[in-house]
Structure 1
Amino acid sequence: MAKSVAAKIGKGITPQQFMDGMEKNKDKFMEWYNQFSWKSEDDRKFFESLRDRDLRCLILMADWCGDVVRNIPVVFRALENSGVPVDVLIMEQHLDTMDEFLTMGGRAVPIVIFADGSGNVLGQWGPRPKHVQAIMIEFKQNNPDREAPDYNDKIQVARQEMLKQYGEGTGYHDVIVKELRELLTSF
């Protein structure tokens, strides 16, 4: 059965309300947001062309999450001139929806959901770029026991490797734009 988010359309907050209400990580979030720039005029035009499509975007997220702080500024900027309405769903306030969009059985944010105007889910992105997520997938496959004595040490190593994969600058912004564009082109 196809997933639907019809009941959640219009129930979230706007990107601006999210940014204004951030209690954690606001400075870093705004730094990534303000550093965004289009590397390709073609990409910018593609996102602007979305206004001709019947799309909605819902984003499950929380301000305490490092991947939200890194990735969502790019998603917000990519969509801000697209005409696509964006509903931010704070994870803790929308656990019912979060539990429909688990990542490898866990609650990982951000999850960017694209739906048609009726709320039928067309696709999703997240919680992080594919090359960064690959590290977490490998970690979870090799460390299924969260109670193992060395689990926390090993997850710290995986998290450090994920940070390294993001890189120092804004290069990963282009990766997110590319992945979002590929997803949006697929339906």
Structure 2
Amino acid sequence: MNLNQWFEKGLTAEQYISGMSVNQAGTKQISEQFSLSAEEKERLAPLKGKGLKVIALSEDWCGDALLNNPILLKIADEIEMDVRFLLRDQNLELMDQYLTNGTSRAIPIYIFINKDGKELAVWGPRAKKLQNLVDQERSKLPSQDDPDFTDKQKAMYKSLVKSYQVDENLWHAVANSICDKLVG
């Protein structure tokens, strides 16, 4: 399939969000509270009305998707970009073309295309600032053979997801990272 065909296969934002069972409330919370800054809007202005589309490889259970998807949708609204969501686990043929570090099916992955279906940019799964935060938190974990590792790892991810839902600095780090990918 070409990218336009993948796009057409995808769910609209409304379909994706209404079908969520894990992170729907958090996604809606960020969506309601986040607004693009004047600077972000100014950076995005040249893309407005250019007919861009984005395929978002995602899953409801993913904490990074909880953070990134509502921000992507605000950017899409700002520049009149159509968004379609594909569930990663049901679309591995496409996912496996966009592996993180060539090995990981990390999500979300955003594939930006023009009206002809030509790939323009790929973003994901995290903004650099968020990756640094995750790496910092992971460095505090005990070794994997430690009996407390699993519990501490779960607590770490729970704490990160909580910060994803309230920290406006993280929201803007994501917005700026996506802007960097789209407009330089």
- TM-score category by the smaller chain? 0.7 to 0.9
Greater fraction helix: 2
Q: Is the 8 A contact 1:135 1:158 kept in 2?
A: no
The 3 A distance-change label for structure 1 pair 52 and 167 is closer
CA distance in 2, matches of 1:154, 1:135: 16
Greater alpha carbon shift after TM alignment, 20-29 vs 61-70? 20-29
User: Quick one: distance in 1 between partners of 2:118 and 2:67?
Assistant: 28
Structure 1: gaps of 5 or more residues:
141-147
1:88 to 85, 90, 96: 85
**Over aligned residue pairs, what C-alpha RMSD do you find?**
3.0
Superposition TM-score, scaled by structure 2 size = 0.79
Question: Normalising to structure 1: TM-score of the pair?
Answer: 0.78
Q: Which moved more, 1:78-87 or 1:163-172?
A: 163-172
CA drift of 1:35 comes to 0.7
Identity within the alignment, %: 27
5+ unaligned residues in a row in structure 2: which ranges? 139-143
1:149 paired with 2:145, answer: yes
Q: Which amino acid aligns with 2:26?
A: K
> Secondary structure in 2 aligned to 1:174?
helix
Per the alignment, residue 105 of structure 2 pairs with 107
Residue 35 (structure 1) aligned to one of 30, 33, 36: 33
- Which amino acid is the alignment partner of residue 91 of structure 1? R
Structure 2 residue 17 is matched with structure 1 residue 22: no
The residue number in structure 2 matching 1:169 is 167
Distance 2:133 2:96 in 1: 22
Give every structure 1 segment of 4 or more consecutive aligned residues whose post-TM-superposition deviation is greater than 3 Å: 45-49, 134-140, 150-168
Tell whether the 8 Å contact from 2:164 to 2:171 is kept in structure 1 after alignment: no
